[in-house]
Amino acid sequence: MQNANAPLIVQPAPQPTPEKHIPIFSSPAQTSTPKESVKHEFIKSLISKLPKIASHTHFNSFHARLLPSITPKHPSSNSATEITNSLFFKEFLPSKTTFSWNSLIEIFTVNYRFLQSLFLFKKLLLSPFSKPDPLTFPPLLKSCVGLLAPKIGFGLHGYLIKCGFRNLVAVDSSLVLMYMKFGRIRDAVQLFEEMPIRDSVSYNYLVCDFGANGFYEDVLMVFERMLKSGFLPNMDSVFHAIMACCELGSISRGMLIHNFVIRNGFASYVAIANLLISMHLKFERLDLGRQVFNEISERDVVSWNSMITGYARSGDWVQAFGLFLSMKKEGHLVPSRVTFLGLVLACGQAGNLDFGKSIHGRLIRIGLLSDFRLGTSIVDMYSKCGRVEDAGIIFEEELFERSLVSWNSLIAGYSQNGYDYEAVKLFKRMLLESNLKPDAITFANVIPAFASLANLHMIRSIHALILKKGIKLDDDIVLSTAMVDAYGKCLDIEAATSLFTCIGKPNVATFNAMISGYNLNQLAHHAMMLFLEMLRSNVLPDSITVVMLLQSCGELESLKQGSMAHGYCLSKGFSSHLTVGNAMIDMYMRCGCTKSSLLLFSSMSLKNVVTWNTMLFGYVKIGHSVMALKMFSKMQSENQYKLDSVTIISVIQACAVVSARHNGEIVHGLTLKLGFDSETLAMNSLVDAYAKNGLIDNARSLFKQMGESRDQSSWNVMIAGCGMNGKGEEACMLLSRMEEDGFKPNSITFTSLLASCSHSGLVDEACRYFDMMVKKYKIHPSLEHWTCMIDMFGRAGRLEEAYQLIKSGLPENSGCLVLSDCDAVWGALLSACRTDMNMELGKLAGERLLRLAPDNCGYYTLLSNLYASGKRWDEAAKVRRVSEDGGLMKKPGLSIVKM
């Protein structure tokens, strides 16, 4: 590298006095030949421009940038000032040869005396003894570049052409350089292409300048052409070529350059080797990076740091620390901040809290924690090791300057560790307390937290904020994926879909987020279609994708699709993933194939708590509670799996069904012992289990104990529990208390409440709540709500009202169901009619029912039973015959079971 602090043109250049020279130019004797007149014209323009150029103020920085590539090493470059003052310059120059002039001009250029070099040229033109030759020009052109004087440069080019001095390698390559530097890239390339013979210098100019201008494709093209033509590139060219591979992400061309560097000994230049290492690390080829690292004879801190950081990123803290120790062993190098940054990163990536803590201590000792980058990396390390509370404490202590990155990092820490509320709180604090503006990363960090909290309102606000800030979701795939996922989780599937379709290049994560969104919104079919689209658009599915594919199959209860997905997993090597195995067990369970589940389960060599839970919960869902409890005791006997809240909930639910009072108390004790008494979900299940077993007093006292930890679902469970224990009034009272406690009743609340009223014969109350649900809470009544109402009217012997309810269809503000088209509703009426022996209405309901669902054998049975109860044997037999003729009796009445 040249010394950028070398004295540039600071003192005024020796000013020519135009008056002295002009008479010479204008003397008649000088203007005889056409060449001479060209010369005079040029000198005139040169003189008119020079004073202006001298006043340029940004010389210094410009030179610093240009010098490395324009300054050839000159063997005899003495100080230019010395030369100017020398006797040689003052006394003898006028009589010297062109060669002497050229040498002197070059010496000035090499010493950044660009102005003097041009003045010297002017003197040469005026000299009666010498004339410029082609070799005079390369340094002059470089001086023009140094002076930022394109017009003089282009003038020189014109002059060259007129003198016929073209087609000389040195001249042409200087011209190429000059045009490149002045941004006339097309002209430069054209000149380059027209050169009859090229030298390595011109190639190097072109490579470096393409690189400096960001034309990476061209850098590599010229570089490769240079090698093919047998020229050896200089360090700068190799540097730019590697940079170009990095920027273009071209691994294959990077490999070619890697081989070139190794073969030609460029790896011994530490700067080149370091760059090559960082290229390989960028392409996640740690092995190749290490290969280059090993080739370096004199490694510097950067070489070590690069490798340490590379291993750190990949989570290989053993290698990272190993290198750190070897570095210290070598003795002469001192670890820098970047070294520690790499080590802290390694601990975070590997989740190695112990090493992380020891480095934390060391940083405090050597006083480096005040460095805001290191401070942030420590915060991040604690978050990544699952100790986000500690991360928060360090952040709050303000031992280092808080940057946008440190806020972002802690928000990410909270969000990734499931501290959604804290993440949101910190985000809001950042907006209020700091002067920092949230960026795309802030949003990408906080969006999952809002999504987990199902805060659709905030998701929409952030979406608007992103658009307002001009952040292009198209360009930021991580951010747009987070948005798609958030809309899916908040059940705004339209927003998710429309955002997804706008994303130009969705990646695996984006597809996964969208597929997951479809699954969450009970659109498993759409999820499957999207999976196929993913395959068509050549986005490679990963293990997460197949987990969700299996979920879709389970959701659709399609054994056929599920088996196909199973086959796909086997063929693509996903079946060895634990999560995939778990998802597969769940899929078979949902498809009713317990045998396959059990087979898979037993064949899995690696299990975790989720594997067990999947089996447990699967059995509970299909009502095989005894199997679930057996499974649970087996799990406990293996003694290597830590139970979690899902395990306990499954066991509680199994006990509730098995209806064992004893079991219930055991599981209650277990719940408390394992410390799940603060887990709302587990406690809700326990309340439910007691209620289902008629132990309403236990349920009630537990519900009371829960106090603050109650959620909406706790109230729903308790209301339903009262209902099934014949405590209709208590259920009604609970609704008012629930509202007082600030919980909004939802559709499930009313299902439970209507059922409670129905069981306790509180018909008028039920009607009032039904009205309240529609009018006050704007909840569309579901099929369950309607059938419950009809059922209740039937029980109360108020059949006519039930019939009227069906006929009236729906209140005007609801629009999802056409009641008279739902067979379940008529079925409920038919059952009620049988109890009440209302033949006329029953017949009407039955006929309607068979028209709506002619394949459901259960309805035929229902109708024939009605006739039988009324002793209308002929009609009963007729209905039976019709169903037997249709072969319906042989089919299991699946749809009635599902109801």
Partner DNA sequence: GATTAATGTG
Q: Which of residues 399-418 bind DNA (CB under 7 A)?
A: 403-406, 408-409, 412, 415-416
Is residue 430 within 8 Å of residue 438, measured between CB atoms? yes
The reply to whether 561 sits near DNA by the rule CB under 7 A is no
CB 712 to DNA: min, Å: 21
The reply to whether 625 sits near DNA by the rule CB under 7 A is no
The reply to whether 542 sits near DNA by the rule CB under 7 A is yes
**Is 570 strand, coil or helix?**
helix
From candidates 319, 377, 521, 787, binder to DNA by CB under 7 A: 377
The reply to whether 336 sits near DNA by the rule CB under 7 A is yes
Kindly report the number of other CB atoms within 10 A of residue 102's CB atom. Answer: 23
The reply to whether 250 sits near DNA by the rule CB under 7 A is no
Give the residue among 719, 728, 706 at the shortest CA–CA distance from 746.
719
Distance of alpha carbon 498 from alpha carbon 504, whole angstroms? 12
Distance of alpha carbon 526 from alpha carbon 521, whole angstroms? 10
* Complex with DNA: residue 67 or 544, whichever CB lies closer: 544
The reply to whether 653 sits near DNA by the rule CB under 7 A is no
Give the residue among 625, 621, 616 at the shortest CA–CA distance from 591.
621
User: What is the phi/psi pair of residue 400, to 5°?
Assistant: -140, 165
Q: Which residue has the tokens 């460029």?
A: 266
Is residue 121 within 8 Å of residue 140, measured between CB atoms? yes
Is residue 312 within 8 Å of residue 320, measured between CB atoms? yes
34, two tokens:
């056409």
Distance of alpha carbon 827 from alpha carbon 841, whole angstroms? 12
Give the residue among 302, 356, 345 at the shortest CA–CA distance from 327.
302
- Show Cβ contacts of residue 536 under 8 Å, excluding neighbours closer than 6 positions: none
**Is 589 strand, coil or helix?**
helix
Distance of alpha carbon 289 from alpha carbon 246, whole angstroms? 13
The reply to whether 345 sits near DNA by the rule CB under 7 A is yes
Q: Which of residues 305-324 bind DNA (CB under 7 A)?
A: 305-306, 309
Q: Which of residues 737-776 bind DNA (CB under 7 A)?
A: none
Containing 99, the helix (H) or strand (E) segment is helix 98-110
Q: Which of residues 413-452 bind DNA (CB under 7 A)?
A: 415-416, 440-441, 444-445, 448
The reply to whether 548 sits near DNA by the rule CB under 7 A is yes
CB 847 to DNA: min, Å: 42
From candidates 582, 671, 725, 756, binder to DNA by CB under 7 A: 582
The reply to whether 579 sits near DNA by the rule CB under 7 A is yes
The reply to whether 380 sits near DNA by the rule CB under 7 A is yes
The reply to whether 547 sits near DNA by the rule CB under 7 A is yes
Q: Which of residues 662-701 bind DNA (CB under 7 A)?
A: none
462, two tokens:
């952030």
Enumerate the H helices of 264-297 as residue ranges. 270-282, 286-295
Interface segment toward DNA; rule CB under 7 A; list 96-104, 422-430, 503-511, 524-532? 503-511
The reply to whether 512 sits near DNA by the rule CB under 7 A is yes
Interface segment toward DNA; rule CB under 7 A; list 641-649, 699-707, 768-776, 874-882? 641-649
Binding mask 264-303 for DNA (x = CB under 7 A): ----------xx--x----------------------xx-
The reply to whether 516 sits near DNA by the rule CB under 7 A is yes
Q: Which of residues 145-164 bind DNA (CB under 7 A)?
A: none
* Complex with DNA: residue 251 or 477, whichever CB lies closer: 477
From candidates 578, 724, 763, 844, binder to DNA by CB under 7 A: 578
**C-alpha dist (Å) from residue 248 to 237, 243, 279:** 16, 9, 11
From candidates 613, 625, 716, 752, binder to DNA by CB under 7 A: 613
From candidates 112, 114, 617, 715, binder to DNA by CB under 7 A: 617
Q: Which residue has the tokens 């087609």?
A: 167
From candidates 168, 245, 509, 667, binder to DNA by CB under 7 A: 509
Interface segment toward DNA; rule CB under 7 A; list 531-539, 610-618, 716-724, 814-822? 610-618
Size of the site for DNA (CB under 7 A): 74
Q: Which of residues 200-219 bind DNA (CB under 7 A)?
A: none
Interface segment toward DNA; rule CB under 7 A; list 110-118, 217-225, 508-516, 684-692? 508-516
Give the residue among 529, 533, 527 at the shortest CA–CA distance from 547.
527
Q: Which of residues 476-495 bind DNA (CB under 7 A)?
A: 476-479, 481-482, 485, 489
Distance of alpha carbon 899 from alpha carbon 824, whole angstroms? 8
The reply to whether 714 sits near DNA by the rule CB under 7 A is no
Distance of alpha carbon 232 from alpha carbon 203, whole angstroms? 10
